[in-house]
Amino acid sequence: MGLMPLLYSIWLLPQAAQEQALQAVIDSLADQHGTVRFQSHLTVCGSLRNIAALDAASAYVKQSGLLPLTATITGVASGAESPFRAVFVEIENSPALRDFRETLRDLTGAGGLHPPHVSLLYTLDRNTQQPMPQLDAARLHAIAKDCNTRIPAGELILDRTAVKTAEDHWENVRSWALARML
């Protein structure tokens, strides 16, 4: 069996102090619920297979002058539809953020864009990385309600763009690695 091609995803990263604060919440929730830890980020676009398109994306990021980009946090929400949008910080889809994400999607040939958000909890078991049915909609709602007191509404400053890779599929969170900064 041949090697699966790497998948690429472009992320916006919060400025250092906000990144540390979000990471503390992510790590605390992961430890409390036995789920996987992951780096705080806002996915710009994902599941790219064409690494050559990343050069165009890198040139755009450097030439656009849009970073740092200020995003508005509107609250914390939950959903049971995807393990990657279980508990998340909702981000207003401002014209600047939307244009940045759409341009990078168009340059890279990425698929559709999810509403902008910063996940706080994935419902993937820390050891098996399998979905955890005990983290159902009601439980996720309660966790999100608690997180609303931990994540203040206001501005999130996104100042760096990273390219992450996954070895074969995004559900293998432990395989995620930094490919490069744009």
Question: What is the number of residues in the chain?
Answer: 182
Query: Is 66 in contact with 97 (CB distance < 8 Å)?
Result: no
Closest C-alpha to 41, from 74, 9, 79, 65: 9
What pLDDT, on the 0 to 100 scale, is given for residue 170?
Answer: 76
Residue 126 and residue 128: Cα distance in Å, rounded? Answer: 6
What pLDDT, on the 0 to 100 scale, is given for residue 1?
Answer: 40
Buried-state track 43-66, b at ≥16 Cβ within 10 A, e below 16: bbbbebeeeebbebbbebbeeeee
Domains, the chain, ordered by start:
7-181 (3.90.1140.10)
Question: Helix, strand, or coil here: 140?
Answer: helix
- Determine if the peptide bond prior to 68 is cis (ω within 30°): yes
Residues contacting 119, CB < 8 A, separation 6+: 26, 38, 84, 85, 86, 87, 88, 89
What pLDDT, on the 0 to 100 scale, is given for residue 112?
Answer: 85
Which tokens sit at 68?
A: 């740092």
**Local confidence pLDDT in tens for the 182 residues of the chain:** 445 557 888 999 999 999 999 999 999 999 999 999 999 999 998 877 777 888 899 999 999 999 999 999 999 999 998 999 999 999 999 999 999 999 999 999 888 899 999 999 999 999 999 999 999 999 999 999 999 999 988 999 999 999 998 876 777 888 888 988 98
Q: To the nearest 5 percent, what fractions of the chain are helix, strand and coil?
A: 35, 30, 35
